[in-house]
Structure 1
Amino acid sequence: MAEHGAHITTASVVDDQPSIFEVVAQDSLMTAVRPALQHVVKVLAESNPAYYGFFWRWFDEIFTLLDLLLQQHYLAKTSASFSENFYGLKRIVLADTHKFQRLASAGLPKQQLWKSIVFLVLIPYLKVKLEKLVTSLREEDEYSIHPPSSPWKRFYRAFLAAYPFVNMAWEGWFLVQQLRYILGKAQHHSPLLKLAGVRLGRLTAHDIHALEHKPGEGSMKQPPASVCEKMKLTLKKVVGGAALSLSTGLSVGVFFLQFLEWWYSSENQETIKSLTALPIPPPPVHLDYNSDSPLLPKMKTVCPLCRKTRVNDTVLATSGYVFCYRCVFNYVRTHQACPITGYPTEVQHLIKLYSPES
């Protein structure tokens, strides 16, 4: 009953057009997966920086590569992205008529497929990178590393001033499109779908039957004619099996990842912190000033990076070690890790120290 009621509220212009609740839910699915996976990788990197620090530093690129493989598999096999297929939706080419729509199992044409991949994978990756760049520039502007009169500083200050308006226009574009979709004035809830030349529709009974049917069962009775064809068939099976395993595992784990996202949300963490006090982590045993470790100087007033007497003492909150401010700022901004322990670190973890004499 609730499903039928949801369809009525959308005033659909097409019979198979999904409701606004379905399209928004599938949009938020992959959006929730990224931060949950990112937190898992961060926990692993903090537990063992030597082995898992690489995954934390290159998380965006690794996630984008996996997302590319996943979305390409689903678009080619089901005519839908992973989240759209999860909610029983498919992508319909705008050039197809209502009577001659291709089955979902036929996949999207190459032009619409690669356009969909660009808007599903590349655009979110560039958006994440742009947001990180803006955050980094704001922190750099706050710490005033460059002289106030430098051309570079004037440029990125202008960029920081314009970015909120550009971002507001981008989000407003999507909001207006969703309002038009709700009122039945548009076939797309997202302008990126229109640019890709597709619209969303529900899977029909023929689509579900074609997706569940496994073609080629009779053709497997005869072996391939050559060794090359055998190897090609085996490789295709391996790649298909890997993609299927990845999608199945992601389908099962997506609810667990959403739970992790809620559990480690800022609101829930504030509640946990108010109930329990976090213990102070012990310093690494193998990195003692009295030991022969090559990472630390003998004198406690020497910066471990430049090996000179520290200037503008700054401590890393993630590890507790003290450096020159300029040395540790440039290192953390480049490597996102503590120079001594390898713990994942951001610029906001720098704490300036003031001596009683200063």
Structure 2
Amino acid sequence: MAEAANVRQNLQNVPSIFEISAAETLDNLIYPALSKVFDYFGLRLDFKLWGNLRVREELSPVVTWILQYLYLRKRASSFGESFYGLQRTATATGELLTRQQQFTSATLLTLLPYLERRLRARSAQHEDTYAWEQHLIKMFHVYNASKAVHTFLYLIKYAASHSPLFRALHLTLRYPSVPPEEDKWTYIFLKMLEVVAFFLQFIQWWYSNDQRRKVGGTLQNPEALCTEEKQTLKSGECPVCLMQLQTPTACAVSGYVYCWKCIVSHLKREPSCPVTKYPISIDDLVRIYET
């Protein structure tokens, strides 16, 4: 009888696929928005480990994991799920997450999108990828296809979970029957984070490619920085190799044009424009085609 009551309550608290999709979209905005903030302030992990091995990594994944784990601990939901009033519960019993499930959920929420983003970026840069990286990319394709199937089955109410990860962890998303218990300061802190979410979404929109193209025509071309002696860049020459441009590629941030191989090789060592030193990434490069 108690089990029947639990099933009936779960059926009444099932969120729509649109709310789940909106929560996932908000979760996916955290990492790129934080990356823009940290890049602007120049905050990165950069230290020598041992020998010639040096760690150069951004702080965004670490901060994203901490944020997600905090929400999973306090509200049994991710940042985006909490924003839309959803909660992760055990599929069979309806109980909240265990400590292990909280840790695993936070890790998967952070690690999988990060790995997929890095692998796709390496592939887009035409870098030499290892065989295991190619296998990982194929596995991500399989996972995305499996997730689409799970979403369809959830939509027709055939599956209790919308994602293969939720099914593997024996979890599902539901509306909480009672509000989560938390102290006053925790409530204020989490509410402030939700307000910051709108700010992060604004940053992500501002730095999108479409918006950058719209405002790019009003920006003044920055002057080259002086080193020991100010060099005059000749027309048609790459500022990196000082030879005739091969596969001209413009930097959308500074406006300077480089050889494709030169600027990509430079970005592997330092994420900045070689001339102006403005922070840039591979997404800021625009291929120039002659007419």
**Mapping for residues 215-226 of structure 1, pairs under 5 Å:** none
Return closer, same or farther for 1:167/1:296 CA change in 2, 3 Å cut-off.
Answer: farther
Instruction: Choose the corresponding residue for 2:87, options 74, 80, 90.
Output: 90
Identity %: 28
Instruction: Choose the corresponding residue for 2:201, options 242, 255, 258.
Output: 258
Query: Are 2:130 and 1:133 aligned?
Result: no
- Using structure 2 for the length normalisation, give the TM-score: 0.71
**What's the offset of the Cα at 1:192?**
0.9
Unmatched 5+ stretches in structure 1: 1-11, 46-51, 141-151, 215-240, 288-292
Instruction: Choose the corresponding residue for 1:204, options 168, 173, 177.
Output: 177
Return closer, same or farther for 1:342/1:247 CA change in 2, 3 Å cut-off.
Answer: farther
Contact between 2:238 and 2:244, CA under 8 Å: does it hold in 1? Answer: no
Indicate the RMSD between aligned Cα atoms, in angstroms. 4.3
Query: Are 2:25 and 1:28 aligned?
Result: yes
SS in 2 for 1:91: strand
Q: Could you tell me which amino acid in structure 2 is paired with residue 281 of structure 1?
A: N
Contact between 1:94 and 1:199, CA under 8 Å: does it hold in 2? Answer: yes
- Using structure 1 for the length normalisation, give the TM-score: 0.59
Return closer, same or farther for 1:79/1:282 CA change in 2, 3 Å cut-off.
Answer: closer
SS in 2 for 1:68: helix
Contact between 1:180 and 1:186, CA under 8 Å: does it hold in 2? Answer: yes
Higher helix share: 1
Contact between 1:13 and 1:184, CA under 8 Å: does it hold in 2? Answer: no
SS in 2 for 1:211: coil
Q: Could you tell me which amino acid in structure 1 is paired with residue 181 of structure 2?
A: L
Separation in 2, partners of 1:17, 1:28: 19
Separation in 2, partners of 1:334, 1:87: 40
Instruction: Choose the corresponding residue for 1:342, options 274, 277, 280.
Output: 277
Separation in 2, partners of 1:85, 1:322: 45
Separation in 2, partners of 1:298, 1:281: 15
Instruction: Choose the corresponding residue for 1:294, options 218, 222, 228.
Output: 228
Contact between 1:305 and 1:328, CA under 8 Å: does it hold in 2? Answer: yes
SS in 2 for 1:14: helix
Q: Which range is displaced more, 165-174 or 319-328?
A: 319-328
Separation in 2, partners of 1:335, 1:211: 46
Separation in 1, partners of 2:210, 2:257: 31
**What's the offset of the Cα at 1:283?**
0.8
Instruction: Choose the corresponding residue for 1:18, options 8, 15, 20.
Output: 15
SS in 2 for 1:344: coil
Q: Deviations over 1:255-313 (max 9, x none)?
A: 3433444455445556x45xx942432414x52xxxxx32756997998767xxx3344
- Highest relative contact order (Cα 8 Å, sep 6+), 1 or 2? 1
Q: Deviations over 1:310-357 (max 9, x none)?
A: 3344786454668787655422332121234321234574879x9xxx
**What's the offset of the Cα at 1:189?**
0.8
Unmatched 5+ stretches in structure 2: 1-8, 47-54
Separation in 1, partners of 2:257, 2:207: 29
Q: Deviations over 1:75-121 (max 9, x none)?
A: 222222222222222221245x35xx3xx5xxx32322222122211
Contact between 2:154 and 2:160, CA under 8 Å: does it hold in 1? Answer: yes
**What's the offset of the Cα at 1:38?**
3.9
Q: Could you tell me which amino acid in structure 1 is paired with residue 11 of structure 2?
A: V
Greater radius of gyration (CA):
1
1:283 paired residue number: 223
Q: Deviations over 1:168-198 (max 9, x none)?
A: 4332211110111111111101111112232
Higher strand share: 2
Q: Could you tell me which amino acid in structure 1 is paired with residue 149 of structure 2?
A: V
Separation in 1, partners of 2:26, 2:287: 37
1:5 paired residue number: none
Contact between 2:87 and 2:175, CA under 8 Å: does it hold in 1? Answer: yes
Q: Could you tell me which amino acid in structure 1 is paired with residue 65 of structure 2?
A: L
**What's the offset of the Cα at 1:124?**
1.5
1:3 paired residue number: none
Return closer, same or farther for 1:60/1:172 CA change in 2, 3 Å cut-off.
Answer: farther
2:102 paired residue number: 113
Q: Could you tell me which amino acid in structure 2 is paired with residue 337 of structure 1?
A: S
**Mapping for residues 168-247 of structure 1, pairs under 5 Å:** 168-205=141-178, 208=179, 211-212=181-182, 247=190
Contact between 1:188 and 1:199, CA under 8 Å: does it hold in 2? Answer: yes
Contact between 1:72 and 1:117, CA under 8 Å: does it hold in 2? Answer: yes
Q: Which range is displaced more, 311-320 or 254-263?
A: 311-320
Separation in 1, partners of 2:19, 2:56: 29
